[in-house]
Structure formats: structure tokens, C-alpha cells
Amino acid sequence: MEFRFVLGGPQGGGLETAAEVLSAAFAREGYGVFIDREYFSNIKGRHSYLHGTVRADGHPRYLDYPVNLVSGLDAETVFTHFADLQPGGYLVYNSDDDDVLFTSIPSIEAELKERLAHTFKEAGVDGSVKSVANFLRNNGVRVIPISYGDLLEEAKSRIPIRPGQLSRYLSAIVVGFVAALAGISPDSLDFALKRRFGEGEIYQHNKVVAELAGSKIPERGALRPGEPSLQGGVLLATGNEVVGMAKIVAGVRFQSYYPITPAADESFFLEGHENLETGPLVVLQTEDEIAAITTAIGAALAGARAATATSGPGFDLMVEGLGWAGMNEVPVVITYYQRGGPSTGLPTRGSQSDLLSAVFASHGEFPRLVMASGDHEEAFQDVIDAFNYAERYQTPVIHLLDKFTANTVATMPLPDVERLKIDRGLWAPRGVKNYKRFELNGPISPRSALGENVMWYTGDEHDEYGHITEDPVMRRRMYEKRMAKLKLAEEEIPEGRRYAVYGSDSPKVLLVGWGLVKGAALKPLERLEGEGVRAAYFHIRMFLPFPKEALRKYVEEAEVAVAVEHSYSSQAALLASMLAGVRIDRHILKYTGRPIYVGELVEGVRRVLKGESRVVLDYGH
């Protein structure tokens, strides 16, 4: 019922295209798909790979090892991922690389070479591709060597591919292997290729190469993940695209950004949809992130639904603007894609270590709402909510996602947009005499777009009109007015939007996590139940306002509570202690930049149950 694979190659070699084609082919067959793309931060050349899960009975939200198939464009893929294969799995590789030694590949990092040297010495492997393939064959792996050179020469005899362009079709070879082993129908593969390339020459060439590659696989359908049983419409998209779509549905009319990984793809998607039937969408690339947030603030003051999207270093630059928005009660949304830090850190790798920065960034005190999505479906709904909350409470909203979600292409049920509600908050009529933008009748003052009424904005403390003041009584009243929004939001935002609980009603083990941990955590619940361990997962979707009463109840009732996070200091557990008085002193953590995998999390829980209080995971390449 499940097909797991790793496809590797050099960055820029076409793996992203392969992900698009394969995910579309699987989705058209009726399968649920989840494909993560891991890549180096250089533009071209270093090792990248796709790690995918395909299921016939649902939309997977997790990754796991070992896999059923390893294939790729180069010898480095064989060396890097051979140990990820399970007995009975398949290695399909380029036999032209048989004599390549791992020591001859300059792009393999020195640390990995050292580990490989140790492993090969123990296994009696001489370090060539062929010797690794023989080792796998002797350990129950089905090895299929295919000469990519001969295959491309055969393709060239059928279609007019210029010799200098042959390497452009290596990814089509891998697509053909996967399609054949998974039993994808020719119609679905053709649909996926047309979806990606149109119907021109490039499509024709890819089709011929993929079909030719598939014909070299002797066991077509050997890894077919069962008969697909998904019902209803399916949306196939990356996390970036899901957020972009949701912003359009939410009625966003202004998005600013400065290019940064992994946030930029969302803005690129929006740029492709600026001419909407319902009106124009302005997407502005600014000179830096300071300008990005201040232009978004300006658009919000002018009455537009406005947002900016960024990642860690960019958010740091936005902090002064964030404080200005807090002082002036500006409803602006910041979509914040987390990656490995500090500084430039791991620009293309995932992390959850920016949570405390999102919650506390900027000097002084002002209300903000902080949300976090656990998967593509949540992200779509959370984007709508983020704008509704921003305008209802007239405060910045920070929507946290992570690199894993951003770069993962996945299937999800079609959102029911008819049931979505747009709340634009409290507005003042145009032309009000003696208009008080910050009137003190309650935490929420009727707002007005620039030009509709007379108003003033300043970074200083101000009175009800917006005029600067340092009067201590006015300072206290205005300060308390702003901060009262948090209490109001806590009272009004349904708990179902702030957390979710999965698994046993009376768990022995309660896992507590957020973001993409959700997918990795839900699957182990089944395995732990199979071992007689009652387990549940408490998923945090909002940190401000924090679901403190609910978390306190579940932690107190469980025998063992374990925080599961992609950070060193277990930042969500720290917030739980601070905001809810909930102490979680067992932790399963991972901060390698790679996602948490199901198998290692299950083993981590077992270690906690044996007495370890801090388990650090590190599987992955």
C-alpha cells in the first residue's frame, strides 16, 4: 500500500522537473503523493534528491526509511543512498558508472567520504559503484544496471536530439524507471509530461526517453502501491503554491518580497497570477526586506489586504517595521518560512528554530498573533484565518511554515472555498468629522483607509487621533488598549483553530509538536499502538494566543509527555512553560536540517520510554 523512493542527482540536473512529472502522474492515477526535495544551497552541481511517499489509500504527510527504490542521475546517488534501501527493494543505476570510485567525486563532502570509507571497509566493498551494487545484490536488493549512454543513443536514433542536448533528458530516464516500477499507465505518464512541457518538441523528446527507459525495466509494476482508492477532487501543489493560492482566495491585493529561499517561490507564483478576474494583485519585489515590510504596511494602511513573505535573515531585517505596525495597529501578514540558522545557516534546509524570534522579535511590547501550519491543508485554511485575524484585531500576524512544507509537492483534497469566510474587521465610514483612528472605547478602533478620513501615524506613542504624546495617563491607556487585543483574540478564536489532538483518548505517551512534525508524529501512533503503547499527538497551530488550558489538561493526564521539534532548545516546550505553566521535560529533537522520519521517531519514543529525557535524531543525507 506504500511506495517509498529516493531519486538523486546534481543540483540543476532536472530533479525538480522529475518531481513535477511524477507527482502529476501518480495523482492522475488516483494516488496520494508526498515528495520532499532536499538540495544544497549552491546554484548547480552539488547533490540533491527527491524523497517520496506514495499511498493508494490517503494523502501521506510523512517520509520514512528504508525505501523501495533508489535511482538517480549519477554515481554520487548510489554512494549517498545505497544504505537507505530495504531488502527486496530496487537499485536502478547507470552501469556506465560501474568503475567510478567514491573517492573520485569532488562534490561528496569530506565528512561523508570518511563515513563511506569506514562503511565500505567493514563491508568488504572496494568503493566503486559496481562493488556497491554487488554488495546490495548479495543483501537481497534487486539491482538493475542500465547504460544511460546506450539508452540515450537509442533515443537519438528515434528522435532528432542534438548530441549536446542529451544530458537534458537524464531526468526523463529516472521518470521512466519510476513509472515502470510503480505501474503508472502510459496515459497518466503522457498527461503528466504534457502538463509540464506542453505538446512541443521537448515533450516529445521526454516522452520517448521516458518510455524507452521504462521498457528496460523487466518487472513492470513490481512496486505498484495497490489500487488507488482516493475519492473526490485532488489539488497537487507545493507548500509555496498552496499559500499563494490561499492568498488569492483570501483577497490579497498586495504582496511584497525580497528574494530569499525558501520563501521566494510563493511570490513568484503570485506574480504569475497578478491579473485576476476579481481585480489586480500587485506583487512588488523591493530592494530589501525593510522595504518589503514597510510597503506592505503602506498597502494595508491604504485599505488593501497586504502581506509579505520571507525567511529567517529577511525577517530579522523586518523587525523594525514589525514594531511600527504593532504601534499603529496595522493588519499586515508576514508569511515566515523557517530554514536553518543563525546567519545564513543552512539556506535550503529545514528548521523550527525561529519560533521564539517570531513570538518576541522587536523592542517594546505589542500584540501579535503567531500561527503555524502542519501540512498543506492546514496552510490553506491558516492563510485565510491569518488575514481575517489581522484585520479583525488590527495587529500583525506572523504565519510560520518551514522549508519542508514550502518545497514539498503533495496531494490534498480540494479546499471547499464556498465555506470560507472573509472578515475584514471594523471600519469607520468615510468622511467622519473629528475621526479618532485610535479611539479608546475598546481594544478595536474602527479603522479607515488613507484618504477616507483625516488621521495621523507615527512611530511614537500617540493619542486617539495619532498625535505624538508622552503623557503618562494617555500612555497607560493606549498601551493597555493595544495589549487587550490578545485577551480578546484568546476569547474569540475557536480552540479548533489553535490546536488538534490525534490518537488515544487516554494516552500513556503524549507527543507535543508543531509544523511538519505533525505528519511524522501521526504515523508512529499506529506503530506504538501495535506495540501496546497508548499514544496521542497534541498539535499546536497557534502560539499567540496559546492553547494553554487544553495543553495543560492533556499533559497532566498523560503518563509521559514528549516535545518533538526541529530545534536544539525545544522552543515550543519553552513557550508552553512560559505561557501555560506546562512543564515538558522529555524531548525528541532534530536539528540537522533534514526532516524527522517516521522510523527514527518511533525509535526515539522507545528510548524515552526506557528512561532517556533527551533524544537527538540525525538520520538523513
* CA-CA-CA-CA dihedral for 322, 327, 328, 332, to nearest 10: 30
Residue 64: how many other CB atoms lie within 10 Å: 19
Rounded Cα–Cα distance for residues 543 and 396 (Å): 14
3-state secondary structure (DSSP) of residue 588: strand
User: For residue 520, what is its C-alpha cell?
Assistant: 511524522
Tell me how far CA of residue 579 lies from CA of 111, 207, 441, 561, in angstroms: 41, 56, 28, 17
Q: Which strands make up the sheet holding 254-257, listed edge to edge?
A: 282-285, 254-257, 306-311, 332-338, 397-402, 369-372, 542-544
Distance from chain centroid for Cα 327: 31
What local confidence, expressed as pLDDT, does residue 122 receive? 95
pLDDT reported for residue 277: 80
Region 27-52: what's the mean pLDDT?
94
What angle in degrees, to the nearest 10, is found between the helix axes of 517-530 and 598-609?
A: 60
Tens of pLDDT, residue by residue over 334-382, are 999 999 999 999 999 999 999 999 999 999 999 999 999 999 999 999 9
Identify the band that residue 275 occupies on the pLDDT scale cut at 50, 70 and 90: confident
Q: Beta strand pairing status for 587-590 and 560-565?
A: parallel
Express each pLDDT in 207-246 by its tens digit: 999 999 999 999 999 999 999 988 888 999 999 999 999 9
CB atoms within 10 A of CB 206: 27
Q: What is the pLDDT of residue 329?
A: 98
pLDDT tops 80 at residue 257: yes
The DSSP result for 522-546, as a single string, is: HHHHHHHHHTT--EEEEEE-EEES-
pLDDT, position 162: 80
3-state secondary structure at position 494? coil
- The letter for the amino acid at 209 is V
State the pLDDT at residue 449. Answer: 98
Q: Is the peptide bond before 163 cis (omega within 30 degrees of 0)?
A: no
User: C-alpha grid cell for residue 296?
Assistant: 506592505
Residue 451 Cα distances to 302, 561, 610, angstroms: 8, 54, 65
Band of residue 163 on the pLDDT scale cut at 50, 70, 90: confident
| Cβ atoms within 10 Å, residue 103 | 14
Task: State how far the Cα of 202 lies from the Cα of 83, in Å rounded to an integer.
Answer: 35
pLDDT of residue 538: 98
Which among 588, 455, 437, 596 has a CA at the least distance from the CA of 516?
Answer: 596
Q: What mean pLDDT is predicted for residues 187-211?
A: 95
E-state strands within 404-515 = 409-413, 499-503, 509-514
Question: What pLDDT was estimated at residue 216?
Answer: 97
Q: Is the pLDDT of residue 519 over 90?
A: yes
Residue 276 above 90 pLDDT? Answer: no
Q: With beta carbons less than 8 A apart as the criterion, state whether 59 and 228 touch.
A: no
Give, in degrees to the nearest 5, the angle at Cα 101 between 96 and 105: 95
Distance CA 175, CA 93 (A): 13
> What rounded mean pLDDT belongs to the chain?
96
Closest CA relative to residue 586, chosen from 609, 613, 607, 551? 613
Output the pLDDT for position 230.
85
The string of pLDDT tens digits covering residues 565-609 is 999 999 999 999 999 999 999 999 999 999 999 999 999 999 999
Residue 421 has pLDDT above 90, yes or no: yes
491 vs 382: CA distance, rounded Å: 18
Query: What pLDDT, in 10s, does the model give residues 442-499?
Result: 999 999 999 999 999 999 999 999 999 999 999 999 999 999 999 999 999 999 899 9
How far is 382 from 300, CA to CA, in rounded Å? 19
The model's pTM is 0.96
| pLDDT recorded at residue 232 | 81
215 vs 149, 173, 196, 208, 223, CA distance in Å? 15, 11, 22, 11, 15
Q: How confident is the model at residue 40 (pLDDT cuts 50, 70, 90)?
A: very high
Instruction: Report pLDDT digits (tens) over 9-26.
Output: 999 899 999 999 999 999
pLDDT tens digits, 546-567: 999 999 999 999 999 999 999 9
Residue 278 is predicted with a pLDDT of 77
Other beta carbons within 10 angstroms of residue 349's beta carbon come to: 24
Task: Give the C-alpha separation, 346 to 341, whole Å.
Answer: 6
What domains are defined for the chain? 2-216 (3.40.920.10), 236-419 (3.40.50.970), 426-493 (no CATH), 496-616 (3.40.50.920)
Spatial CA neighbour of 592 closest among 263, 112, 119, 113 = 112
Query: What CA–CA distances, in Å, run from 420 to 197, 280, 381?
Result: 34, 21, 8
Q: How confident is the model at residue 34 (pLDDT cuts 50, 70, 90)?
A: very high
Give the span between the Cα atoms of 564 and 47, in whole angstroms: 28
Q: Residue 293 is inside which H or E element, if any?
A: helix 289-301
- Ramachandran class of 55: left when φ > 0, alpha when ψ lies in -120 to 50, beta otherwise: beta
